[in-house]
Structure 1
Amino acid sequence: MEPEVVQRPPWYVEPNEGESISHYFGRFRRHEAVCVSSPGTLSKAAGIGPVLARWEKFRLNPVPSQKELEAIAKLSGLDADKIVQMLPPKGEKMKLEPIRLCAACYAEKSYHRLEWQFQSTVGCDGHKLRLLSECRYCKERFSIPALWEEGECKKCHAPFRSMKKRQKVY
């Protein structure tokens, strides 16, 4: 007996390992087969009100309900459990601001990691570098990951990957 092949909708976007919900839904909305540009419009299409805009800013209080997760999962073609993996584990507090990143990680794989926004995270354990919260060239704070279309500073357009040489060791 052959394993059943899962049929994905044409707008399906595979989440990256450890990717934040903010970055994922930004990528999802920019996918060529998706004609929704704002998180509010996507939330309304799923029938869950304006919650996605809050989620993209890591404002997860109240915690997304099972009904909300299933509705957005159905619309995106994802399994609700995959969306749960883009949320912080129970008991882990989120740092809403500033948005942080490890430029060395971003240079390897260009997406925002959920763990960078944990209050308990000081730096990147893999690279032993402090996380950045602003552009190392112009000092502009990073925008929410949902808006990271080009992976660069919104003010001076310096690529995030180029900032790794300016990260400090921790």
Structure 2
Amino acid sequence: MSALEKISQWPVDNVSGALISPGGVETLGETAREYDIKSVTKPVVAMGIMLAVEEGAVELDQPAGPEGSTLRHLLSHASGVDFDSREAKRPVEDRRIYSSAGYEWAAEIVADAAGMAFEDYLHEGLLKPLGMNSTRLEGSAGHGLISSVDDLVKFASEVL
């Protein structure tokens, strides 16, 4: 049984997915349907932030977040901030703490450096060039992306 066949059996109202292989893309369900993709937001946002690094707007090792932390620490969940709080729960690099707040903080730093809202920066720099027309950031840079399987295939193909 293929991975796509397995997800077709999930007891939910809507299922869609894609399998990317050297032979092409195999899909299941309504792949154009938009979903709130929660934490899959983070890799897309990280790619947008890395565009800002590439453009020289920000640097991975610039101070960012709590004292002693950098943009790199925020992106790698090593800044010490908690999931939904910017308060340092642990010292920098003491332990990785999965953090949407860290991604929100990183996105604000890019927005300030670029002089535009992060959702606009992400759209213009990444989503639009990849043709991710049904993807948009609504709210948190840690978990606020709306997207479709079709668009995520474009993103994953770019990463691959």
TM-score interval (norm. to shorter): under 0.3
TM-score, normalised by the number of residues in structure 2: 0.27
TM-score, normalised by the number of residues in structure 1: 0.26
The structure carrying a bigger helix percent of its residues is: 2
The structure carrying a bigger strand percent of its residues is: 2
